[in-house]
Structure 1
Amino acid sequence: MENRNFTRVDFSDGASISYNNHLVWGTVENLSLQGFYIRTSSTVKPDMPLDLPLDVTIYHPPHSSINVRASTIHCEEVGMGMKIDELDADSFVRLVDAVSLKSNAPAMIMSETYKMANYVKIVND
């Protein structure tokens, strides 16, 4: 049984993960204000670090990209679960909008937005 603190929504936008001079491409399959699951376009390298913040860009048209620092929580051969650690204010707004648009419970997402401040560092650009 899953024990989630934030609502997850189905999602299907492209993303890239940058680490150790590698760039991994994939598709974000589900998204919350606290994290996401990304299915990668190639086998994830076995040296993918766990619990180390990585730079992730979620390409969310027609809006600008959502740029986050996220830690890999679990890693599978073709994907990984990631927890958002840090993002800039513009990406924060775009993330909230993206989740709100896909959710059927906007009041819950608004409540989670306030709760998110306890889990994620929001930085200036």
Structure 2
Amino acid sequence: MNNRKHERTDCQTEATIHYQGEDIKGVVENLSLKGLFVKTDQKINVDEQVGISVHFYGADADLSFNLQATVVRAAENGLGFGFQKIDIDSLALQKKEPALQAPA
């Protein structure tokens, strides 16, 4: 039985966990309005607070945002986080430059 309040969306995108001066790379496995799960071989104790940067790469633009989260689950293959605060001001959209074309 699934008692989740928010639907999770599967995704495969990069994340960087900022914890005690270290940057830990991982891959977001799923995401909801209140949390996410990051695949990583690094371990952080439950109830620890971290910063997370999530990066989405698209054909036309790249998008990233930062959030504050708490570790709510530690699993063999990664870490589950509950959001404390999403820094909307950090939302960065980078438009890719069109490829320069040589004159014909």
* TM-score normalised by structure 1 residue count: 0.63
Identity of aligned residues (%): 31
Match of 1:81?
80
Letter in 2 for 1:29: E
Contact between 2:65 and 2:88, CA under 8 Å: does it hold in 1?
no
Q: How many residues align?
A: 89
Contact between 2:10 and 2:31, CA under 8 Å: does it hold in 1?
yes
Contact between 2:70 and 2:84, CA under 8 Å: does it hold in 1?
yes
User: Which ranges in structure 1 are unaligned for 5 or more consecutive residues?
Assistant: 95-125
Determine helix, strand or coil for the equivalent of 2:11: strand
Determine helix, strand or coil for the equivalent of 1:81: strand
Structure 1 stretches (4+) deviating beyond 4 angstroms?
none
Match of 2:67?
68
| Separation of aligned partners in 1, 2:6 and 2:12 | 18
Which is greater in Rg? Answer: 2
* TM-score normalised by structure 2 residue count: 0.75
RMSD: 1.9
Structure with the bigger percentage of helix: 1
User: Which ranges in structure 2 are unaligned for 5 or more consecutive residues?
Assistant: 94-104
